Amino acid sequence: MQVRGYSHPDFHGLRDTVKWCAPWHGPGGAAIAVYHRGELVADLACGTRDRYGTPFEPDTLALSMSTGKGVMATLLHQMVDRGLLDLEVPVAKYWPEFGKNGKGGITLRQAASHRAGLYSIARIIESSEEMFDWDHMVRVIEDMWPVHKPDTDFGYHAWTGGWIIGEVLQRVSGQRFPELIKENLADPLGLDGLYIGLPQSELPRVAEFLIPALPRKLLRGRPRGLRNRVRRTASTTVRWHSAVGHAVDAMIPPGLGDVLGDPRWLTSVIPSSNGVFNARSLARLYGALSLGGTLDGVRLLSPSALAEAAEDQNPHIGRVIPFPLRFKVGYMRPVSLGLRVSLGRRRVDLGLPNPHAFGHFGFGGSGAWADPERELGVAIVTNFFGGRVPGDLRPVVVATASSRCADRRSS
């Protein structure tokens, strides 16, 4: 399988890694990019961008789902850093209509740390097409009631958090969300592949999002039926049964499988879940964050803001995902599932890169993060569902391989 792109000699091992991340048979591809100490040391791709065999290139754009949460979190921390927002202040100060129905005391920190109790997307919309309309979703969020008393528990806000944080960012800045990304992140760093709300002109650059028939069929279903189906195959423990119900409500909007191939899915603004990126842009962004917030003279965040970004907020198991993912304020920690996997001809342990690393993974195998201890910015984007639920191991493998390359280079 051909690997395209550049790798520094100290990071040649990632050429095997990107091959492992692409399918051995059938369509699909992946790209990996790594910045180490401010230098682009890997910009690699493998596989195909569509079912017709078009090569997946290092600059190919790919739908990266929740990986966009990390981009949104960076904007949030920028606004806090500039004194425009305060994490300890209720969201309703910036967005008064949000405060009704038991939400008046929810702080920005609680909303960004999945502690607001507002995660049940399946209970507030009838069709995933509703999510294409920002103003409609803002009204829906305003009418929500929390599932639990805010700040007494946490549950992953897979979808709703994007409109909550995104609307606050728009109100305090006076700009639309895509403009915020362009003016505060993409243009200063010279990024050609960082979008939430893709311009129509960029659609030809995007890889086809490939999902096998069975997962797509499940995603097309109504959440109640899917919830019952999954429960029949889940553990009989109370915790797992409870988690399954919360997970389906939080993570699977009605009819999601029907819209994932729709161009509107790419061009709408759904900050939690429709980021469209290439790996090199994400890696450069996180490369800056790994170096104290500054790269090539461009400052994104101050050291104090980065310290806040790296702090774990939820060290325990939450309501939606039944294992600890160490969420931070808007970010998550790159995780290890404690497994051994085949990488080429070798079996490798998946190790946690760094407790202070932060970024976000996304459905379908994408992910991007900063590792300040190693001065690493790492990203992977893919265009095919790997069939690994609840967690896709590809970002974890990339985290392990890139960390080992950096450690050997530094020794």
Cα–Cα nearest to 368, from 286, 302, 293:
286
Average pLDDT of the chain is: 88
* pLDDT greater than 60 at residue 215: no
390 cis-preceded (ω within 30 degrees of 0): yes
| pLDDT class of 108 with cuts at 50, 70, 90 | very high
Cα–Cα nearest to 260, from 231, 226, 230, 218:
218
Please tell me the least confidently modeled range out of 173-182, 241-250, 350-359: 241-250
Cα–Cα nearest to 359, from 326, 382, 386:
326
Residue 246: its pLDDT value, please?
67
Residue 373: its pLDDT value, please?
93
Cα–Cα nearest to 375, from 402, 398, 343, 344:
402
Cα–Cα nearest to 256, from 288, 221, 281:
221
Instruction: Give every strand in the sheet of 376-382, ordered side by side.
Output: 3-7, 39-47, 29-36, 376-382, 366-371, 358-362
Please tell me the least confidently modeled range out of 4-13, 244-253, 288-297, 300-309: 244-253
Residue 235: its pLDDT value, please?
46
- SS3 of 276, please? strand
Residue 229: its pLDDT value, please?
47
Percent of the chain with pLDDT over 90: 71
Please tell me the least confidently modeled range out of 23-32, 216-225, 262-271, 272-281: 216-225
* pLDDT greater than 60 at residue 243: no
DSSP state at residue 121: G
pLDDT, tens digit (0-9, with 9 covering 90-100), for 52-102:
999 999 999 999 999 999 999 999 999 999 999 999 999 999 999 999 999
- More confident position, 22 or 211: 22
Tell me which CATH homologous superfamily contains domain 3-410.
DD-peptidase/beta-lactamase superfamily (3.40.710.10)
Helix axes 68-81, 160-173, angle to 10 degrees: 30
d(C-alpha 94, C-alpha 284), whole Å: 31
* pLDDT greater than 80 at residue 262: yes
- More confident position, 241 or 94: 94
Residue 42: its pLDDT value, please?
99
Beta strands in 8-118 (DSSP E): 29-36, 39-47, 62-63
Residue type at 191 in one-letter notation: L
Q: Over range 27-38, report the average pLDDT.
A: 98
Residue type at 224 in one-letter notation: R
pLDDT, tens digit (0-9, with 9 covering 90-100), for 357-400:
999 999 889 999 999 999 999 999 999 876 544 457 899 889 98
